[in-house]
Amino acid sequence: MNQKKTIFHKLSWLVLCMAVLAVLLSSLPVMAQVKAEEVKIDLGMRIIGDYYNEVKAGQDNRFYLELRNYGTRPLTNIRLISDKAEDWVVEFTPANLAYLGTGEAQTVDINIRPPDKINRGEYRFTVIAEATETRRAESFWVRVDSQSYWLWIAAIVGAVVVAGFIIIFIRFGRK
C-alpha cells in the first residue's frame, strides 16, 4: 500500500506542477516576431542605343529611353521632362506613364533636335522622371555632328588643284 501512496503522491505532485506551470504560462503575453518588409523605391533610366549617341544638328534624332522600376512598390503618374540647353528640343513619346509595376520596364521614344547652327562637340542634357512616389534625374551625353560643307569644299579645291597640275603638265610637258 505504501508503494501505491508513493506513486499517488508523485502523480499528484506532477499534476499540480503542470497546473501551476500552465497557469503561469497562460498569464504571459504572447510575443510574435514579424519581419517588416523593407520598402524600396527606385526608378532606373538608360538610353538604348550606341555608345556615342551621335546626333545631327538641325535634324530629328530618335533614341529610346528605358524606364525600369527596381523598387518594391509600383510607381504611378510618371511624368518625363528634360533640362536642356537653350534652343534644343527634347520630346518624349509618351511624356506621361500612368503606372509602372514592380520589376517592370517601359520604353519611351525620345526625339532630340539640336539647333541648326551649333558647334560640333559633346553636349549634356538631363532627363527628369517625376512620379507620385519618387523623383529621378539622369544626365546623358550626346555628340553633335554638325552639318559641315567644309569637307565638300576641301574636296572640290583639291580636285581643282589636281586638274590644274594635269593641265600644266599637258601644256608645258615634254615635247
Is-contact 90 129, C-beta < 8 A? no
Task: Give yes or no for residue 37 having a pLDDT over 90.
Answer: no
**Which H or E element spans position 22?**
helix 2-27
| Each residue's pLDDT tens digit, 82-112 | 998 889 999 999 999 999 999 999 999 999 9
Task: Tell me which residue of 106, 125, 107 sits closest to 115, measured CA to CA.
Answer: 125
Phi, psi torsion values for 109, nearest 5 degrees? -80, 135
Of residues 7 and 134, which shows the higher confidence score? 134
Residue closest to 72 by CA, chosen among 45, 35, 104, 46 = 104
**For residues 145 and 129, which has the higher predicted lDDT (pLDDT)?**
129
Q: Could you give the domains of the chain?
A: 43-145 (2.60.40.10)
Question: Which residues have a Cβ under 8 Å from the Cβ of 72 and sit 6 or more positions away?
Answer: 37, 38, 39, 40, 41, 102
pTM for this one? 0.62
Give residue 38's pLDDT: 74
pLDDT mean across residues, the chain: 83
Question: Residue 85 has what pLDDT?
Answer: 82
